[in-house]
Amino acid sequence: MIGVRAHDLGEFTIARLEEFIQEIKRYGFTHIQLVLWKSFSDIDPYLTNVSTDQLEMIAKRLKEESIKVTVLGAYYNMISPDLKDRILGEERYEKMLEILKIFNGEVVGTEPGSYNIDFSFNERNHSKESYDIVLDSFKKFSKVAEKNGTNMGLEPVYTLTIWNIEVVKKLFNDLNSKNFKIIFDPVNLIGIENYQQQDELIENMFEIFKDNIVTVHFKDFLVKDRKLIRVSPGKGILNYKLLLSKMKKYNINGILDEVPKEDLEFSKKYVENILNTL
């Protein structure tokens, strides 16, 4: 049920693969979100210096230890104003769709992007222009996904291009691909304007997308001085009882995301304790 974003455990090398695996097992995680170049410092971001044999070796050892790769990360800025950066990101995403089957993974993940290089909010992020760029990219990706029998994944974010349930639903309908899935991060869809409607957001997300949600990111938040502050799960006000009950209903796993290493055991235990009451 509970996984982790693997590079939150630290940075390793391919030669230190066994240490990497033992670190995952030490916390008792059953699955991971794997960003290859962030977990293994000797793999470059575009996988130009790693062989298929090496990828298969990593995948084989994870499988032998019953560690599932739920998300293979290929995050990039989908509407980057730097066209070269955007093209490189698209190429990497397509490559990840091809290698996902090596890891027997569920989905290749990305966020929708911003017109600001640093991913901060830009009013144009919510424009039709930005939506069309994301839609066109996923139309291209869908051909690769369908050919390889793998899934595309998008993580909607309140300040970025695909930013609320209505826009996600429109993208689903416009794309019309069985290979398109959602990575649901409740905190990423919450802003100061809607945080008091978090229960409605969670209810609606599961009601509309059901088993098209491939995994949930576990974060938490507080409100201070009219600003949202991200904190580790169990230290904020996200309604985890509601979230976990919906996940249990639809048999969806979750991933601790952006949780400092010193909080991993606390947050994992917090989630487990709630699950045990459901």
**Could you read off the pLDDT of 8-52 as tens digits, one per residue?**
999 999 999 999 999 999 999 999 999 999 999 999 999 999 999
- Segment 255-273 shows an average pLDDT of 98
**Could you read off the pLDDT of 202-242 as tens digits, one per residue?**
999 999 999 999 999 999 999 999 999 999 999 999 999 99
Helix (H, G, I), strand (E, B) or coil at 169: helix
- Segment 148-153 shows an average pLDDT of 98
- Give me the CATH number covering residue 70: 3.20.20.150
pLDDT band at 1 (very low <50, low <70, confident <90, very high): confident
Of 43, 42, 113, the C-alpha closest to 72 is 43
Q: What is the pLDDT of residue 259?
A: 98
Domain that holds residue 264: 2-275
DSSP string, 111-167: ----SSTT----GGGGSHHHHHHHHHHHHHHHHHHHHHT--EEE---TTSSS-SHHH
Q: What is the pLDDT of residue 189?
A: 97
**Could you read off the pLDDT of 159-212 as tens digits, one per residue?**
999 999 999 999 999 999 999 999 999 999 999 999 999 999 999 999 999 999
CA distance 26 to 134: 39
Q: Which amino acid is at 220?
A: D
Which residues are registered as beta bridge partners of 154?
110, 182
Neighbours of 163 (CB within 10 A): 21
Percentage of the chain modeled with pLDDT above 70: 100
- Segment 245-260 shows an average pLDDT of 97
pTM of the model: 0.96
As for how many domains the chain has, the answer is 1
pLDDT averaged over every residue in the chain: 97
- Segment 144-163 shows an average pLDDT of 97
